Structure formats: C-alpha cells, structure tokens
Structure 1
Amino acid sequence: MTVGTDMAKLLAEVVDRDIRIMHVCGTHEAAIAKYGIRSVLPPQLKIVMGPGCPVCITPQGEIDAACELAERGCIVATYGDLLRVPGTKTSLEQVNGDVRIVQGAAKAVEIARQNPDKEVVFISVGFETTVPTVAAMLLADPPKNFSILVSHRLVPPAMKWLMAQGEASLDGFILPGHVCAVMGYHEYEAFPVPQIVAGFEPEDILLSLLMICRQVQNGEAKVENAYPRVVTREGNVKAQKLMQEVFTPTDVEWRGFPVIPDSGLALKPEFEMFDAQKKFDLVYAKVTKNSGCICDQVLRGLCDPSDCKLYGKACTPRVPIGPCMVSHEGACRIWYQYQLNKQ
C-alpha cells in the first residue's frame, strides 16, 4: 500500500461528519486537480478554493490602469498570466501599446536601462512570495524612468475577512506553503481554526487534510507545520526585513471582495518616486461586475468553477470572461485543463 493510499484510508476512518476545508493557494489547487486528490476523499470531506491566485484577485480597475499606461506610451512589463485578464474595455494582450512579458522586476529594470527615453512600468503583482525581490530591486537604485504599479496582496487579512463572514462554513485551512516559506506561520496563530502548512506533493496535501480532520475530531484549533523541509515558524526573516524597509500595509480592494483592511502594500514615502500610480496620476476606478461570471463566488469558496453557466462554453482560457480562467493558478483554468466537473 502506498503512502497516499494509506493516508486516504486513515481519512476515511477519521471523517465522520461534513467537513469543509479551504486552501488559499493556486498551486495547491493545481496539485489537487492534477493528482485527482478529491477522488480519494471521503464524501463528507470537501476542499474548496479560496483567494489563492494573485492574478485572479487583482481588481479590474488596476488592470484598466495598466492598459492606460500602455496606451499613454509607457513600456509595460508584466508576468504572462496577467496578459489576458479582462479589463473594462480591453486586456494587456489586446491593448494598443508596448507590453512585454518578463519573469520578474529585475528584467523590467533591465528594459528601463536599455530604453532611457521611455518610461517603463512593472506590474508588481503577487502575494508575499514575490514582494522581497521587488523590494531588493528598489533598494538597488533603479533608473528614474522605472516605476511599479503596486498590486501586492497579503494572505492573513483575507483569511480573517473570510472567517468573519462565515459564509463558506469553513472547518479549517490549508495554509500556502510558498507564502509561509517567506513569512513563516506565526501570523496565523491568532486565528481560532485548524490550520496546516502544506507542501505540494500529493502526500503533502493528504497529510495536511488528515491533520486538519484530526484537529476537528479532537476539538482543537491550532497551526501545525506539515512542510518543515521548507517552512519554519519565523520564515525568512531577512526577506521580511526587505519588505518592511520598502513597503507598508494599506487597505485595498480584492476582486470579488470589498476593501479589506491592511491587506495590501504601498510604497513608503522614501520610495514613492517609483510608484506608477502617483507618478502618472492614475485613478483606480471601482468596476461593477456586469457579466454572468461567478469568479467572485469561486474565490470565496461558495461555488465550484463548473457551477458557472459560462464555464467551458463562453468562457475558456483562449477567450476568458473572468480572471479565474486566465491564470495557471486560477481555479477555472485548472478545472478546465483537467476536465473537472462539480465535486
């Protein structure tokens, strides 16, 4: 009997009532779908998706601002996953401007040095995982024609908001291994709910589910680390110090969510010369959803991607209507890739 089969058998013995567990990491959803983990779980145990895809939760107003920069003649450098995310009128893929795919901020700085007569803006999107490299780059004195559109989000405040709403009836969380590798997991200890830091192999995920279910069975609510080969409680302290030197928490909107207090990052005053929003006097418009897309409900764990009437029909990875069908970490894109239907 394999390790995975053994843990699936143990889960069947432990789970004796309905349990809903949320993960907040697109890579976890990709692994769960790829390895067919849901197919070996007890019927009472359900894993739902949370706001674990940074591209998916980037508000439409920020996409519109990025497109406006390209239309105004800036070179816009972006991760490839952002290209097809729909704005109000267009996307970065279709906008009339110079948009370039890069692997990170360092490459965008290189483009700025090579084009001193052009303004270069890097769309700085991502959770805590990507922030330290951006901070290090800004501390290394980039050229004056370089700036960033800050679109970073922080995971713990979103989890706090979700638990306060109580709408998804959650019994526990699988914590994001990549984020916790940087930030540790001490911040999550304030939440009175079972939580397990998990890796990305099928055995990692099954182990995390088993540990959560055992906490539920025993009436416990604590953080445990099932990914000790990568994650420590304190995390990468040096990376955290870089972040704190350059950025400060701020209230921001998430797509599918309201403004969540202290859930985003803003540049500190001494780095505001690199803030594209201030440099180009950009206004993030509040956009009201006007399509049948239910990405907002998928991101809050209320629906499966296949519950959407547009899923796999009008909305596909080539012609996405909602952001969850765009990114490789988006739940709809993952379910479409692995031809999944409702749990």
Structure 2
Amino acid sequence: MKYIDEFQDPELARRLLDEIARTVTRPWAMMEVCGGQTHSIIRHGLDQLLPDTVELIHGPGCPVCVTPLAVIDKALEIASLPDVVFCSFGDMLRVPGSDRDLFRVKGDGGDVRVVYSPLDALRIAQRTPDKQVVFFGVGFETTAPAIAMTVHQAKRLGVRNLSLLVSHVRVPPAIEAVMRSPDCRVQAFLAAGHVCSVMGTSEYPALADTYRVPIVVTGFEPLDILEGIRRAVRQLERGEHHVENAYPRAVSAQGNPVALRVLREVFTTTDRTWRGIGTIPDSGWRLSDAYRDYDAEHRFDITGPAAAEPAVCRSGEVLQGLIKPHECAAFGIICTPRTPLGATMVSSEGACAAYYLYRRLSPPHTEEKASVD
C-alpha cells in the first residue's frame, strides 16, 4: 500500500539507525508528542533499536487520555438524560468516569450512539427534531475542523436541537507546559504530523527559539519516526534549535487554509484542564460567542461533585515524561486496559496501554518498585 509498505522497509530502517548511531556522541532525550507515534515506537520496538544514548520520552499526545474526569462525568450525566441522543466516536465509550462509562449508560437505557463523523450527529438531529442531539467533541487540532464545520452547517441550516460538548486541546501550549516544568528533561520534540497538516508549523519556531529545542514534524510509520529522530539528533549534536518538516507529503508550512478559516470562525481559545497534568493556559478551544447556543455546557446545566483521580495512579508523571509506564506500581496489576485507573491507560492510544499491549511489563529496577497498598 502506497505510503505504508515503503515506510516500513526494514533495510531502510537499519540504515537510519546506523546513521543515528554514527551521529550521536552524547546522551539526548526527546519527546514524541502524539500517542499514535508512541504506539508505533513501542509496537516496532524502535526505542529498543536506538543507541542507548537516545532516549524517547512519551508525551501527553492522546486527547482521549487527557480529557478531564470532570468532563467525562458531565458527558455521562447528559447522556443519561431522557430525550437526549448522545453521539461520540467509539474511543470514548469505554473511558471510565467516576463510577461508570458510556457503555454502562447505554446498557441502562441511554440513547448513546457511535458515529464516524460529527456530520452523522447533524443528520440524526435533522431526522429527530423532538430529541436533543449532543456530540462529544474530543480531539487535537486534527479532528477540530470537521466538528467546527458541523456546527457551522447546523447554524446555516437552522438546526437548533444539536449541541456540542467540547473538550478540544491544542498541542503547542502543551509543549510549552512541558518545557516550563522544573523537572523537564526534554531536549527535542517530534511534533505530530496530522496536527501540523491542519495547523501548519507557524506556532513552533517561537517555541524552538524560546526553549532552544529542535522540533521535527514527523509521521507515524517507523521510517517517518526514525527520520525525525535522525534530524533531531543532528540538530542537537550541532547545537541547533529550529523547526524541520520531515513529513512533507502531508504537511506544509501554511497548513490547511480552509480548515483554519472555519476554526477561527467557530472556536476561540481557552484555558483547558488536561487529565493528569492540570490546567494549561490557552491550550483548548471552546465555541465562540456566535455559536454559544450550540454549547452543551450552556444548554444543559450539569453540576456535580469534583471528581478525584486514584491516588496510586502516576499517569500525570507518565504524561509529562517523568517516568515510563512500567515504573508505576499500579501498572499491569490493578491498572489494566480493562480496569484503567488513569489517563494513559484509559485510551488505546495512551502510553500505558501501549506498554501493556506490547508486553513491556517489567520496570527497569524491580527492586525499587513500590507497593500498591
């Protein structure tokens, strides 16, 4: 398959690995931002094939993972209301709230539907005018344009029974939050190619200059990631810090102008809480004032007690790259994909889920592993 098979070529991968090994002269640590990249790295064992001097730190790159528990609980409350059709992408249905998930709500009689596009929710709203249809908008900049276009179309068509529960997050502020952490060890970033295909690369040069870190835009196949690592190592060894696009087949500097236009019309930036991390200024989107009537949080007055994360869960440290998943005492014991405790296990794209799926179950120093009691 074009752009798949040729980017999984083992001989080309070995050449890239050899070049990285020849280039590196000292230890470097870099963070891949996207959870899809993390899964590709762990699935193909790229981190184990790299020289010991190149460490990959797994970043907060899964929007499902970082959706706050309070937002999940709000979604569950709305989905449980009579006369509500609650629509979501499938990856949100098994994400646990404080005491249940959307599958449980559906089993208890709630009208919860998996859709493959937010436009499906608009069509449901048109067909069932006697119902309130709510779409759960979770994602990075990648999925935001389709959701923005959906509410734009709803307003244009006069569809009033559709609303969005929005929990969109933005990548550049998250990178800045990582760099501002006093415990930060990251010296370079592999930026997510799908995000940059929408947004372009204009937000990254200032970050690279301010924090003196190379930022290399990469894709998701093994050769994409290795090429991104090669370029990042080359910059680090030369003492450089600029933005490189190693994914030109999908990313241009200006991004997608049509998508950017609808995003600017429908959304405005806002502070957003990231599960396991905390509030990051200007790191999210909410509906603009012109679309406030389509905001589910405005339409449904849902309040409840503040949700608390399990104390034993160290997903926040995983999301910030401070520990690897198997260094958490709960990992693989009381925290599994079937019984997830924290952000990085709740989604199939989370770092903990990747380590569990691909059997990275042993911590580096088992004698230092803490008790879960």
- Please say whether Structure 1 and Structure 2 have the same fold, judged by a TM-score greater than 0.5: yes
- Equivalent residue for 1:32, pick from 31, 36, 41: 41
CA contact (8 A) 1:4 1:203 kept: yes
Give CA-to-partner distance per residue, 1:103-145, whole Å, 9 cap, x none. Answer: 1211111222232221111100000001111111111126211
Distance 1:286 1:173, change over 3 A: farther
Counterpart position of 1:49: 58
Give CA-to-partner distance per residue, 1:48-86, whole Å, 9 cap, x none. Answer: 111100000000000000001022222211111112222
Q: Distance in 1 between matches of 2:53 and 2:216?
A: 19
Q: CA deviation at 1:181?
A: 0.5
Counterpart position of 2:162: 146
- Equivalent residue for 2:202, pick from 186, 195, 198: 186
Opposite residue 152 of structure 1, the aligned amino acid is: H
Q: Distance in 2 between matches of 1:284 and 1:233?
A: 43
- Equivalent residue for 1:65, pick from 74, 77, 86: 74
1:160 matched to 2:176: yes
CA contact (8 A) 2:28 2:54 kept: yes
Stretch deviating more after TM superposition (311-320 or 114-123): 311-320
Q: CA deviation at 1:285?
A: 5.7
Q: CA deviation at 1:166?
A: 3.9
User: 1:2 aligns to what SS in structure 2?
Assistant: helix
Q: CA deviation at 1:46?
A: 0.8
Q: Distance in 1 between matches of 2:169 and 2:239?
A: 31
Q: Distance in 1 between matches of 2:338 and 2:331?
A: 12
CA contact (8 A) 2:136 2:164 kept: yes
Opposite residue 167 of structure 1, the aligned amino acid is: D
Q: Distance in 2 between matches of 1:181 and 1:12?
A: 30
- Equivalent residue for 2:131, pick from 96, 115, 118: 118
Opposite residue 255 of structure 1, the aligned amino acid is: R
Counterpart position of 2:3: none
Q: Distance in 1 between matches of 2:111 and 2:323?
A: 37
Q: Distance in 1 between matches of 2:342 and 2:179?
A: 25
Matches within 5 A, 1:87-106: 87-95=97-105, 96=108, 97-106=110-119
Stretch deviating more after TM superposition (172-181 or 276-285): 276-285
Counterpart position of 1:321: 341
1:216 matched to 2:232: no
Opposite residue 356 of structure 2, the aligned amino acid is: Y
Opposite residue 126 of structure 2, the aligned amino acid is: R
- Equivalent residue for 2:25, pick from 4, 11, 16: 16
Counterpart position of 2:92: 82
Distance 1:275 1:285, change over 3 A: farther
> Which consecutive residues of structure 2, in runs of 5 or more, have no partner in the other structure?
1-9, 365-373
Counterpart position of 1:175: 191
Q: CA deviation at 1:216?
A: 0.7
Q: Distance in 1 between matches of 2:305 and 2:166?
A: 15
Counterpart position of 1:137: 150
Counterpart position of 1:267: 287
User: What TM-score results when the alignment is normalised by the length of structure 2?
Assistant: 0.88
Q: CA deviation at 1:311?
A: 1.7
> Which consecutive residues of structure 1, in runs of 5 or more, have no partner in the other structure?
none
Report the identity percentage: 42
User: 1:302 aligns to what SS in structure 2?
Assistant: coil
Stretch deviating more after TM superposition (53-62 or 128-137): 128-137
